[in-house]
Amino acid sequence: MIYIHIPFCKQKCSYCNFHFSTSLNFKDEMIAAMKKEIFLRKDELQNKNLQSLYFGGGTPSILSGDEIKFLIDEVLKYFNFNSDIEITLEANPDDLDKNFLKSLSDSPVNRLSIGTQSFFDEDLKLMNRAHNASDAEGSIKRAQDFGFENLSIDLIYGSPTSNLEIWKENLKKTIALEVPHISSYALTVEPKTALENWISKGKVISPKEEEQNKEFYYMIDFLKDHDFEHYEISNFAKPGFHSRHNSAYWKYNEYLGIGPSAHSYNGFDVRSWNVANNQQYIKKLSSNLLAKEEEVLSQEDQFNEMIMIGLRTTWGVDLESLKNKFSEQILEKFTAEIKNKLNDGILKIENNHLKIPEKHWFMADGIASDLFLV
């Protein structure tokens, strides 16, 4: 699978610490640099038959339809697309007007991930989103009118401007709009964000973990009652609508990341990442040089990543894969670490896969970190 990071946004959301720029002055140079990187890295993937191509960001929908098609065509020069490839474009509701959707409908893009976040204006203002509640609903309906059935929306719960009743209304609206995939995240206070600054100055109250916990478990029950499968801590899908791209990542498959700050993994023991600086990225690629660093993952690093990623999913960690991949010393320590958690019901083993029972998923990151090798 291939991930393309589009490092531009109209404005900075209050909670976001991803890499992007609000200046489009060097957009053409960035697209040219991405073209060059695709060429220079054309031999990296073992399997050239792509099951997934994903445009993330930033805000990929800030590009024109022609620019998106140009990048897809560049990938097609060096990689083959499976006949049923999933091509996802992350999009903001305010970008999804009729002209842009018409352009997308004439392109190979067949899945949209819409950054809805909330259907309430007060939430959206706190998050400093560029769209309003009307845009949030209208963009989904317009996308469906243009034939996009494979839709995902992002929703954020646990905001200081929200509560359980508002959260229930967000979920009801999502069901009424017949969206088949939902990615939902608790509002977190990241370092060096506007939200962190507002909270430190007392302008905004800090999100309450107890309230987020309550809204998380309400969401699980509500979406299950409406035939959604909870296949990863933050992801829910109707049957047949799992994110192929994210699922491959969670199953520890090989992937290639294009664009500033994008990460890549060779499927074994090497991870690399591009510089998180637009000008440095463009300058390197203009000289036919890759703007990336890489590291060889130690056995401990690989083990920790497999535990962290696997325990976030409904399928869990494949114990047979651990047995085949890691030394007896690592496995002995792991077996000792999980013993008490198995006895306490915090972990369970099903079909030779280690899992966290769903009732403990809200604490999954902490449970996984207890098992890390240090």
User: How does DSSP assign 81-111, residue by residue?
Assistant: EEEEEEEEEEE-GGG--HHHHHHHHTSS--E
Question: Which sign does the torsion angle of CA 247, 250, 255, 260 carry?
Answer: positive
Per-residue DSSP letter, 120? -
pLDDT given for residue 124 in this prediction: 95
pLDDT given for residue 336 in this prediction: 93
Question: What is the pLDDT confidence band of residue 11, given thresholds at 50, 70 and 90?
Answer: confident
pLDDT given for residue 308 in this prediction: 94
Which of 155, 146, 71, 67 has the alpha carbon at shortest distance from 111?
A: 146
Question: What is the pLDDT confidence band of residue 18, given thresholds at 50, 70 and 90?
Answer: confident
Cβ contact 324:318 at 8 Å: no
Give the range among 15-19, 86-90, 223-227, 260-264 with minimum mean pLDDT: 15-19
Q: CB within 8 A of 14, min separation 6: which ones?
A: 126, 127, 128, 193, 194, 195, 198
- One-letter amino acid at 11 equals Q
Q: What percent of the chain has pLDDT over 70?
A: 100
User: Where do we find the tokens 């969401």?
Assistant: 219
Check whether 14 has a pLDDT greater than 90. Answer: no
Mean pLDDT, residues 116-134 taken together: 95
pLDDT given for residue 112 in this prediction: 98
Question: What is the pLDDT confidence band of residue 21, given thresholds at 50, 70 and 90?
Answer: confident
pLDDT digits (tens, 9 = 90+) for 201-238: 999 999 999 999 999 999 999 999 999 999 999 999 99
Cβ contact 160:207 at 8 Å: yes
Question: What is the pLDDT confidence band of residue 192, given thresholds at 50, 70 and 90?
Answer: confident
In order of their start, the domains of the chain are 2-249 (3.80.30.20), 298-374 (1.10.10.920)
pLDDT given for residue 32 in this prediction: 97
Mean pLDDT, residues 12-24 taken together: 82
pLDDT given for residue 278 in this prediction: 94
Distance CA 128, CA 194 (A): 9
pLDDT digits (tens, 9 = 90+) for 134-189: 999 999 999 999 999 999 999 999 999 999 999 999 999 999 999 999 999 999 98
Distance CA 347, CA 230 (A): 17
Distance CA 183, CA 235 (A): 5
- Tell me the whole-structure pTM to 2 decimals: 0.93
Question: What is the pLDDT confidence band of residue 108, given thresholds at 50, 70 and 90?
Answer: very high
Distance CA 177, CA 155 (A): 14
pLDDT given for residue 19 in this prediction: 76
pLDDT digits (tens, 9 = 90+) for 341-365: 999 999 999 999 999 999 999 899 9
pLDDT digits (tens, 9 = 90+) for 226-279: 999 999 999 999 999 999 999 988 888 899 999 999 999 998 899 999 999 999
Cβ contact 273:292 at 8 Å: yes
Distance CA 17, CA 14 (A): 9
- One-letter amino acid at 158 equals G
Q: Which two tokens stand for residue 221?
A: 């029950």
Instruction: Order the strands of the 263-265 sheet from edge to edge.
Output: 263-265, 270-274, 292-296
Strands 292-296 and 270-274: antiparallel
